[in-house]
Structure 1
Amino acid sequence: MVSQLFVKTEEQRKWLHALQTKKAAFLSRSQEIDEEAKFPHENIRELVTLGYSKVTLPKIYGGEGLGVYDMVLFQETLASYDSATALSIGWHVGGLGEIYENQLWTDQQLASFANDVQKGALVNRSVSEAQTGSPTRGGRPGTTAVRQNGSWVINGRKNFTTMSPALTYFLTSAWIEEKQTIGFFLIHKDTPGLSIDETWDVVAMRGTGSHDLVLNQVVIPEEALVETIADRGKALNGWVLHIPACYLGIAQAARDYAVQFALEHKPNSIKGSISELPNVQTLLGEIDAALLAARHLLYHVAEVYDDKDRRKYIENELAVAKYQVTHAALTVVDKAMRVAGAKSLQRNNPLQRYYRDVRAGLHNPPMDNITIQKLAESAIAEFK
C-alpha cells in the first residue's frame, strides 16, 4: 500500500478507497490470469463501471480531470493487485491524458471521442511493428494509409497492441506517402478488415492481451486522421509515467509478500521467525530503501510535470524516472525472492510471477540505452 505521505487530496483518498474495494477480487484472479495468459476482462469491466476509465478525461468533457500525479498514485496501487490489469488500463488513461492535454485533434473530434469514453470506450495507441522495432527509435511504419475516393485505406500489421481484446479504438500509426509523414488514425474495432491475431505468448505480463493488430484494406473516413507526427512535435509527455508506476506497484507487492513470509516462516532450527535473522533484516531494509528512493523520484517528477510553471525545467527526468524505478523494481523483487528462498520459485508462489513481470519493464519505452545516451549528451552539451 502506498504511504499516506504521497496522498495529498481528498479526491485521491476517494479514488484509492474505490480501488481498494477491488483489491480482494483482483488478487484472487491474478494467478489464473497469468497461468492461462487470460486477459482480465472482468477486472477491466469493473474499472470502467467504477468510472476509472475517464479519470484523466478533463472535466469539461465529462471526466474527472485528474493529473499525472493522481494517475501514478492509482496505477501503482492497481499494479500491486494485478500487473496485467494495471498495465492494460494504464495505456488507456495515460493515452487519454496525453490526447486532451495536447489538444491536437479538432474540437469536434475531441468532443465526439469524449462522449464515447463516457460510455466506456477504451483506446490505446498501436504503433509497434516487427520490422521497425520500438517507434521511439524513429523507424518508419510499414503500415500505409492511402487516400481513395474521399476515404483512407489502411493496410499493415502492428504488434504489442496491449489490451487488444477490450479496446474500442486503435489509435494507429501509418505512413502517408502523399504527405510524406506519419499519421495517426482513430479506427473502431468493428471496422471491416480489422482483426486481432492472437500472437501474445510470452513469460511476462501474460494477461495483457498484447496481440497483433491486422489491418487489411481497412476503409475509414477522412476525419479518422486525427494527428500527425509533425502535429505532435517534441512536447513532453508525462503521461508515460504510468509505466514505471506499474512496475513500482509490482515491487511493492513483492515487498509485502517478503515481509509477511519472514514473519510467518518459523523453521525449527531457530527460535521465532526468520524475521529476526540479521541477514533477512538486511534484505528487508535494502528493499525498503530501494522502494523509498524510487517512489520519491517518481512522485516528484510527476508533481513537477503537473505544475506548468515548473514543467519547462524538465529535461531528462521523465526518462530517468522510468529507468531508475524499473531497475529498483528488479532489485526489490530479487531480494524478496532471496527472503523466501527456493519457495519463491514454486509455480503457485506470486514472487515468481512478480519476477517475470518486472522484467517486462526493461522493454517498455523509453529504452535504457536511449536514456543513458541522452544523459551523457546533456552533460557534454552543458560543458560545451
Structure 2
Amino acid sequence: MITADPSELPVLLERSVRAAARKADSMADLPDDLFRELRDAGAFRLLTPRELGGHEAPLTTVLDVYERLGRLDASVAWVVWNANWGFLGALLDERGTALIWNGEKDPVFANSGSPGVAVPTEGGYRVTGHWKIVSGIGGADWFAAVAVVMEGGAPRETASGVPDVRLFALAREQLSIRQTWDVTGMRGSGSNDVVVDDAFVPEELVARFDRPARLQRPLYRTFVPALVLPGCSAVVLGVAQAAIDETVALATVKKTVNGGVLADAPRTRSAVARAQAELRAAGLLLRSAAGALEVAGEAGREVTMDQRADLRAAMSHAADVCRRVLVSMYELGGSTSLYRRNHVERIFRDGMAALQHANHSADLFEAVGRVRFGREPGVPLF
C-alpha cells in the first residue's frame, strides 16, 4: 500500500532494499519483486500531482528521501530518482495526462538527459534517437525523452534564440532496449540503452520547459528542471554517508599492524571527523539552495538565474565532497576494502559510478562562474 507520508519510505523499504542488494548487483537490474514493492509503496509518485494519486512532495522532502535511500543502496535510490517524472502530469494538458494516467496502473517513467531529435508532423512529432544509460528502463511504462525539434535539417530556435528542446512521452512499445549495462558500479540500476526509430508522439504528450505548468501550484511554479537535477547529488550524499557508517563499523574491529584496532589510530579519527563535517555541510548547502526554489514557488515568484546557479554550485560541491569522502573511507579500510564481503567495496564503486553523471561534471563550476560574471551559463537546462 502507498504510504501517506513519503518521508517514511526509506524506513518502510529498508529491509527489502538491503535484502535485494546483492541480487540486483549480480543480475545488473532491480529484481521484479523489489520493483513492484517500490511501485506499490509510492516511491515513484513523489513529484506526481495529488489528483493523480501522487505525493506532490516539496523538493527538499524528495531530496531527503533520495539521500536516505542512497544510504541503503545506490542503485535503488538512483532508479527511484530517475523514475520520478510524475510532474509531467502538471505540465501536459488534460488529454495527455489522461493517456498516461488511464486508471490501469500507476505509470512508471525512465529518462535520459541526452537529446534525440523530433521532426514536426501533422498532429505531433516523429521522434528518433539513441539514449544511453537509461536507469530503470527495464521496469518503466513510459520513457520521458528529451529531444531537439528540427526544421530543415537544423535545430529550431525559440524566441529567445536557443534550441527548441522539449520532453516527449513515449510508451514502452515504441522503443527498444539494448542490453549494454556491463559495468562495475551501480550495476543494479539496469541503465541500459534505449533506441527509438521514427516514433509518432502526439502533441498532447509533448511538454515544454519554456511555458508555465498547467497546474499552477508551488511545486510546479518553480524552475521545472530543478525537480530533476539535484536528485542525483542527494543520492551520492547518501552513498558517501553509507561509506562513513560502514568504515566506522569496520574500524572498531579491524586490527592494525601495532596490535590495536583501526579506530584507535589518530589518523582514522581525524579522517572520519573531517569527512563527516564536510559531508554534512555539503548536504546543508544543497538543501538550502533547493529550499530557496521552494520559497520562490510558494510565493509565486520566478526563480532567478542566481538561484539556479546556487543550486548547480551546490550540486558540484556535493560531488567534490562525496568523491573525497569515498576515497578517504576506501583508503582507511586498507586491503579489507578490496573484498566483496565488505560493504565498503560495493559502496565505493557505486558511489564513484554515480559521480560520473554529467550533472556532476566539474565543468558546471565554470558555468556557475559565467553567471556570476553576468553572462549566460552556456549549458542547456541550467
What does residue range 311-322 of structure 1 map to in structure 2 within 5 Å?
A: 311-312=303-304, 314-322=307-315
Give the residue type in structure 2 aligned to 1:227.
A
Partner of 1:4: none
Partner of 2:86: 96
Query: Is 1:323 aligned with 2:316?
Result: yes
Partner of 1:122: 108
Q: Is the 8 A contact 1:61 1:111 kept in 2?
A: no
> Secondary structure of 1:213's partner?
strand
Partner of 1:275: 263
Q: 1:301 to 1:127 in 2, by over 3 A?
A: closer
Q: 1:73 to 1:228 in 2, by over 3 A?
A: closer
Structure 1 distance, partners of 2:187, 2:168, is 27
Partner of residue 145 from structure 1, selected from 98, 113, 119: 119
Partner of 1:41: 32
Give the superposition deviation at 1:220: 4.4
The CA RMSD over aligned residues, in Å, is 2.9
Structure 2 distance, partners of 1:153, 1:359, is 37
Q: 1:293 to 1:372 in 2, by over 3 A?
A: same
What does the per-residue CA deviation read over 1:98-134, in whole Å, with 9 as the maximum and x for residues that have no partner?
x35xx43213323543455x93211123442xxxxxx
Question: Structure 2: 5+ residue runs without aligned partners?
Answer: 157-163, 214-221, 376-382
Give the superposition deviation at 1:50: 0.8
Partner of 1:211: 192
What does the per-residue CA deviation read over 1:219-253, in whole Å, with 9 as the maximum and x for residues that have no partner?
444533x1246548994632221110100111111
Q: 1:315 to 1:185 in 2, by over 3 A?
A: closer
Identity %: 22
What does residue range 210-289 of structure 1 map to in structure 2 within 5 Å?
A: 210-224=191-205, 226-228=206-208, 231=211, 235=223, 237-239=225-227, 240-266=229-255, 269-271=258-260, 273-289=261-277
> Secondary structure of 1:86's partner?
helix
Partner of residue 107 from structure 1, selected from 94, 109, 123: 94
Which has the larger displacement, 26-35 or 170-179? 170-179
Compute the TM-score of the two structures, normalised by the length of structure 2: 0.81
Structure 1 distance, partners of 2:9, 2:373, is 47
Give the superposition deviation at 1:13: 10
Give the superposition deviation at 1:376: 2.4
Partner of 2:167: 184
Give the residue type in structure 2 aligned to 1:76.
E
Q: 1:362 to 1:267 in 2, by over 3 A?
A: closer
Structure 2 distance, partners of 1:344, 1:66, is 38
Partner of 1:298: 286
Partner of 1:59: 50
Give aligned pairs, total: 349
Q: 1:229 to 1:379 in 2, by over 3 A?
A: closer
Partner of residue 182 from structure 2, selected from 184, 187, 201: 201
Partner of residue 139 from structure 2, selected from 160, 166, 169: 166
Q: Is the 8 A contact 2:47 2:54 kept in 1?
A: yes
Give the residue type in structure 1 aligned to 2:22.
Q
Give the residue type in structure 2 aligned to 1:164.
I
Q: Is the 8 A contact 1:122 1:168 kept in 2?
A: yes
Q: 1:40 to 1:83 in 2, by over 3 A?
A: farther
Q: Is the 8 A contact 1:330 1:355 kept in 2?
A: no
Give the residue type in structure 2 aligned to 1:336.
M
Give the superposition deviation at 1:334: 1.4
Give the residue type in structure 2 aligned to 1:344.
S
Which has the larger displacement, 352-361 or 278-287? 352-361
> Secondary structure of 2:187's partner?
coil
Partner of 2:219: none
